[in-house]
Structure 1
Amino acid sequence: MLSYQHAFHAGNHADVIKHLCWIGVINSLKKKDKAFTLYDTHAGAGSYDFNEAMSAKNKEYESGISKLVQHGAKSSLLRDYLNLCEPFLSSDHYPGSPALSAEAKRESDTLHAMELHPAEFDKLEINIAKLNKSHCHVHKRDGFEGLRALTPPKPNRGAILIDPPYEREVEYQDVVKGIEQVLKRWQQAQIVIWYPLLSARAGNKHGASERMCAKLAELGRPCFKAEICVAENTTDAGMYGSGVLVINPPWQLNEQLENALDETITLMGEHASVKIAWVNQDN
């Protein structure tokens, strides 16, 4: 149940789409002076050393962030992402979403990063403390329980990032239930949900992301999906890509993300592609 450690996958294509989208949400929140609160339900270790055994085993960052570092970004969102990553990359580290949040938010804004895995939480606590940023709180707790306890924030502005490992099939249902509960109390919450795109090799989890997104769409909130594929969806492909579903997205985030991802996929191989589509549009 608590076996997943993100270090094996740090900086891969899934992190790229997830973190591009999340930074786009934060950038939008920063356009107004009023403070906001960020929630990270599955925070992980916060930062990952490419030279440590787990990250070095598969070197997934080589097909993700490493493809982008020497690229002169034209998209403002891609440029912001790379600028936030650069101080970490210069010391062979990749910033997880809590570190990116801490660096991107303003002094007046608040971050709540939640992680239940004991070893990951210990690293998270150390890595966030090293950043020496104000109003950054780490919690050793279940992320969905944390959302129930900590939302809505005051003032009533902010966003939630949800990216479970989806090791167990029930986690897809947990996401739907957790978001249903949040939206009952905090209807205007901006929510980014990351999900994997899995081939038939995944067995029962094949198609689970698509079913989860369909259930979330039934909640009736404005939302769009953005997906990046890095391999052909053959029977044996495994995870051939990933996506984000954004609920209550800020204005023009879909366009900003599309520009950034269109630029990104040109660097990720012949099978790389991107698709962005509204699921529910605001009336």
Structure 2
Amino acid sequence: MLSYRHAFHAGNHADILKHLAWLGVITHLKRKAKPFVLFDTHAGAGEYPLNSDFSQQNKEYLSGMTPLQGVTAHSSLLNQYLHVNQPIWQENIYPGSPRLLCQAIRAQDKAHLMELHPAEIDSLQYCVSSHGEGQVAVHHRDGLQGLIAMTPPTPNRGAVLIDPPYEQIQEYDQVSDTVKKVLRRWANAQIVVWYPLLSERAETKAHACQTMIETIADAGKSCFTAQLTVAENTYDAGMFGSGVCVINPAFQLDENLTDAMGEVCGFLGAQAEYSLQWRKKDN
């Protein structure tokens, strides 16, 4: 359960989609002066040096982050994402969702970052102490259990990022159960759930993932899924892309994310394709 290290995959195509969606959610919350609370259930190390042994093993950033270096964006969300990331990339570091959160959050807002892996928690605490402003709390605990325990928050305005490794098939059911429990007590929560797109070789997990998406999409007032594919879906393709399921999405997040990802695909190669589908709309 604790073998996964995100440093092997830091800065890949999945991170780009996930972090654009998360930044879009935070940006919308900041449009009002009212404070909010953020939760990151699988925070990881916070940031990832790209010259580390982990990052160098697969060098997945070469097909995700690297093509976006030096790019001038036309869409507002991608422009904002690059404005935050470019200076950090120049330090040969890929910022995970905790560092992006630390850079985006305001003095009146709060955040709870959860990480269970004992080899990641010290790095996460260092990242927050270096870049946070005191309103970001780090919790060494199971993120899904922690999310249930700490919601609904005060103030009752905010968002959640759920980003498990899905190494174990039961994680799909655990995410579904957690989302349903959270929404029963915090109905207006904006929730972003990342998930992998898996080929037929991983048929059992792919089916569990689809069931999870259908279950959580129906749990909120509204929901869309956004998916990025970067390879052909052949039998042995493995993870050929990924998606985010966004529950109770902010106004125009679908349009902003579509504009940004349309630009991103132009830099990720000929096989990169993006799609967005509304699963449920609040009437």
Interval of TM-score (by shorter of Structure 1 and Structure 2)? over 0.9
Please give the alpha-carbon distance, in whole angstroms, between the structure 1 residues aligned to 2:197 and 2:182: 25
| TM superposition shift of 1:132 | 4.0
| Aligned pairs (5 A) from 1:1-283 | 1-283=1-283
| Mean Cα deviation higher: 124-133 or 158-167 | 124-133
Alignment length, in residue pairs? 283
**Any unmatched runs of 5+ in structure 2?**
none
Deviations 1:146-174 (A, max 9, x none): 11221111111000000000000000000
TM norm structure 1: 0.98
Please give the alpha-carbon distance, in whole angstroms, between the structure 1 residues aligned to 2:3 and 2:237: 23
**Any unmatched runs of 5+ in structure 1?**
none
- Contact 2:183/2:220 (CA < 8 Å) preserved in 1? no
Please give the alpha-carbon distance, in whole angstroms, between the structure 1 residues aligned to 2:52 and 2:114: 23
Counterpart code for 2:131: L
Deviations 1:120-161 (A, max 9, x none): 111111111111423011000111111122111111100000
Please give the alpha-carbon distance, in whole angstroms, between the structure 2 residues aligned to 1:136 and 1:193: 21
| TM superposition shift of 1:282 | 1.2
| Mean Cα deviation higher: 204-213 or 103-112 | 204-213
Please give the alpha-carbon distance, in whole angstroms, between the structure 2 residues aligned to 1:216 and 1:149: 19
- Contact 1:199/1:237 (CA < 8 Å) preserved in 2? yes
Please give the alpha-carbon distance, in whole angstroms, between the structure 1 residues aligned to 2:237 and 2:132: 41
Check 1:132–1:280 CA distance in 2 against 1; reply closer, same or farther (3 A cut): closer
Task: Give runs of ≥4 in structure 1 deviating > 6 Å.
Answer: none
| SS of equivalent to 1:231 | coil
CA RMSD of aligned residues (A): 0.9
TM norm structure 2: 0.98
| TM superposition shift of 1:220 | 4.8
Please give the alpha-carbon distance, in whole angstroms, between the structure 1 residues aligned to 2:27 and 2:217: 25
